[in-house]
Amino acid sequence: MLGLIAGALVGFTLGLVGGGGSVLAVPLLVYFVGVPSPHVAIGSSAAAVAVNALMSLANHARAGTIKWRCASVFALFGIAGAFGGSTLGKIINGDKLLALFALLMIVVSYLMLRQRGSLGYPAVRLNRENFPRLAGAGLTAGALSGFFGIGGGFLVVPGLMFASDMPILNAIGSSLVAVTAFAVTTAANYAYSDLVDWDLAGTLVIGGAFGGLIGAAAARRLSKMRGALSAVFATVVFAVALYVLWRSGGALGLFTHAVKSA
């Protein structure tokens, strides 16, 4: 039951903000469901997020919000980064991984709030100017998403907006192409090390199927209000980051040390 609830929340987030599935999934599995190993939580959530992202991708494709060529370049270069990042992430201590994960979420939420009023260019197309930016941003986002064991939507959305100047609704739909690719790559890498609980991943998928439908519908409604999606996106990411730091003593200690050092 807890897994179904967690999956529904993950699916809703994927449909609403085009990512953030693992931002919720990893903390939920560790602190709410009670998975003892952060690495198993990461591997299992990556497998579930891959399937849930694919479901949400279908919803956005029907709505016509995806810039396929830009998204494909971003995803292809990101797959290489995701493989390298996930290989490194498997050998890092789980608590430290969660702490660094939370700090990264805080930075991204701040950046999203700063650009929440950006309208973007709805007719954006893949060209010689944005190809290098899309490739570089994809490689970076893929490496970070693989390292932290996440689908990486909260990295992909701002990355697509920065690289191509597309509106946030298009970035949300397009991000799911990369989220699916990154999550599949990460899950396969963790499964190779036997760090995926397939029964739990299946439970998350079932819950996520229902949450994703509701989230995608909410995203289309919120897109009519300028900056609303960016504000929701940043708020969700920031809140989960604070929760992770609060619940993990090791994570809180690392955060305090980083603040003192700064």
CB 225 within 8 A of CB 185: no
CB 242 within 8 A of CB 31: no
For residues 91 and 98, which has the higher predicted lDDT (pLDDT)? 91
| Residue 54, CA atoms < 13 Å, CB-side half-sphere | 11
> Which pair of structure tokens corresponds to residue 73?
């370049």
- Share of residues in the chain with pLDDT > 70 (%): 82
User: What's the CA gap between 53 and 180, in Å, rounded?
Assistant: 6
Output the DSSP codes for 217-236: HHHHHHTTSTTHHHHHHHHH
Is residue 74 over pLDDT 90? yes
Q: In the predicted model, what is the mean pLDDT of the chain?
A: 80
Cα-based distances in Å from 38 to 99, 189, 206: 11, 15, 22
Claim: this prediction has a pTM higher than 0.85: no
For residues 14 and 107, which has the higher predicted lDDT (pLDDT)? 107
Alpha helices by DSSP H, 64-197: 68-89, 94-114, 130-148, 153-164, 168-192
pLDDT band of 114, cuts 50, 70, 90: low
CB 142 within 8 A of CB 77: yes
Q: pLDDT tens, 166-221?
A: 887 788 888 889 888 888 998 999 999 999 999 999 998 898 888 878 887 887 77
